[in-house]
Amino acid sequence: MLFDSLPQINPPRRVVITGAGIITSLGTGWAANAEGFRAGQTAIGPVTLFDVTRQRVKVAGEVRLPDPMPKTNLTRSQARRMDRAGKLLLLAAREALEQCQWSAPHNVPLILGTTSGGMSLGEAFYRQIIQRPHSTRGQPTRVIHYQAQRQALDAVEAFSLGGPITIIANACASGANAIGHAWQVLRAGRAERVLTGGYEALCQLVFAGFDSLQALSPTVCRPFDAQRDGLAIGEGAGILALETLDHARARGARILGELAGYGSATDVHHLTQPHPEGSAALSSMQAACQTAGVCPSRVGYINAHGTGTPLNDSAEAAAINAWAGDHAARVNVSSTKGAIGHLLGAAGAVEAVACLMALNGQWLPPNANLRAPDPVCRFPIVRTAQDREFEYALSNSFGFGGANASLLFRRWP
């Protein structure tokens, strides 16, 4: 049962990560991305997936998909019908599942975040109706595969997961909310294992949407820089295999880290602009730390939402300043969006994997393209990769509509 009224009194369970998969414009897999982040690479280039000749901005963080795709339990026709978003999800999920080595995952729920699912198929559906209204060729497939549940169902079938499927569409916080929700499901004893994360594929509607808002950087995306002028859009996926600590220990699993806390809050200030003081961001950061019983002085690194837009970064900086208080000068902060772009519904999940990489390797990912930090930042911004001992990393994700989420990760000794 998803819910039954019988009282379930479970002491909160600890939740650990035993698998992580990632695909971004830096490459496919943990190693390629860890190397890219650590080296401070920037993987933003010309958009080739759709026409951007009439757009103000013409670059994004496009992923190179492997060809052919790896084999899974999908039939040839199922695999052929998968869209780009589904492929990104599949690749990250595959890596996470290979790493965690779960046996018989038929009762594993899938909790995902995305903002637009297979939107490029929705676009194609519309174009065909307008351009060739009497042709329905390929249209039913587009209708079905445009929907996010289809990508999730493909992942379920590809890896023989059992479900249920939960898809959270909380704009740019979707991935973090999905991981946080998975944490709550495990913590409450509603499951022993959950596959979770976020995925997003580039599409014309969303790219043009951010361009219409003049939110895309016409120069270079440089979060927290005093001269920042916008974000870069990216695509990719990040997937985590989460399980209760007891379950992981019982099977002798290799633990990559602990998901120690989660907080979420809603900013009602404006549909697209954060409250200037970052009040909901502050609430979500505080809630994540409170659920873990961790004070800010124990957090060694923050992977900031840090989109590179003037309003987002100043609001987030205000929130971090307030959250850290006297400790602000000692908490290291960076945004990885300068390197791979803003992955929207996948951002929180990909950045969760970046935090795990940092905790595992005990290094801090640099904030690409930073020249002169915005003076509003009372905290140090990581300019080059640094080796550093730290126990906790906080990951922030803030989205349209006021969706705010923070995840707190702990190094596994």
Partner 1 sequence: MIQVQGFGAVSPAGWGVPALRSALSAGNPIPARDLSYPGSDAPLRVRPTPPPATRPEFMAHPRLRRTSPISQYAVAAALEAVGSDLSAIRAGELRLGIVFGVMCGCVNYSRRFYAEVLQEPATASPLLFPETVFNAPASHLSALLGTRSKCYTLMGDPGVFLQGLATAALWLHEGQVDRCLVVSAEEIDWLIAAALNLFERRAVLADGAGAVYLSAMGEATVELRCVTDAHLFTRTTPREMAARKAREQLGPASPGEPLFDGTIGVADADSAEAEAWDNWDGPRISPKRILGEGFSAAAAWQTVAALDSLASGEHPSAVVSVVGCNQQAIAARFCRVRR
Catalytic residue status for 221 = no
Six token digits for residue 289: 């730390």
Q: Please identify which residue in 55, 360, 362, 386 interacts with partner 1, judged by CB under 8 A.
A: 55
Exposure of 354 in the CB half-sphere (CA atoms within 13 A): 36
Q: Taking each helix axis as running N to C, give the angle between helix 347-361 and helix 174-187, from 0 to 180 degrees, rounded to the nearest 10.
A: 70
Determine which residue in the list 39, 64, 101, 188 makes contact with partner 1, applying CB under 8 A: 188
How many of the chain's residues bind partner 1 (CB under 8 A)? Answer: 74
Q: Where are the alpha helices (DSSP H) in 200-254?
A: 204-212, 245-250
Whether the CA torsion 77, 82, 83, 84 is positive or negative: it is negative
Question: Does residue 159 bind partner 1 (CB under 8 A)?
Answer: no
Considering only residues 256 through 285, tell me which ones interact with partner 1, judged by CB under 8 A. Answer: 264-268, 271-272, 280, 283
Amino acid identity, residue 3? F
Binding map of partner 1 across residues 10-49, x = CB under 8 A, - = no contact: ----------------------------------------
Q: Which of 145, 342, 355, 377 is catalytic?
A: 342
Q: Which of 32, 49, 65, 165 binds partner 1 (CB under 8 A)?
A: 165
Any catalytic annotation for residue 289?
no
Question: Of residues 24, 33, 99, 115, which one binds partner 1 by CB under 8 A?
Answer: 115
Closest separation between CB of residue 126 and partner 1, Å? 6
Residue closer to partner 1, measured from CB, 71 or 251? 71
Q: Are 389 and 362 in contact (CB under 8 A)?
A: yes
Task: Find out whether 303 and 351 touch, Cβ atoms under 8 Å.
Answer: yes
> Cβ atoms within 10 A of the Cβ of 126, count?
12
Is 181 a residue of the active site? no
Q: How many CB atoms lie within 10 A of CB 138?
A: 13
Place of tokens 């909160």: 12
Q: Does 302 bind partner 1 (CB under 8 A)?
A: no
**What is the pattern of x (binds partner 1, CB under 8 A) and - over residues 207-246?**
-xxxxxxx--------------------------------
Contact status, residue 185 vs residue 109, Cβ threshold 8 Å = yes
Q: Please tell me whether residue 402 binds partner 1 under the rule CB under 8 A.
A: yes
Nearer to partner 1, 28 or 72 (CB): 72
Nearest to 176 by CA among 331, 333, 304: 304
Residues annotated catalytic, as ranges:
172, 305, 342
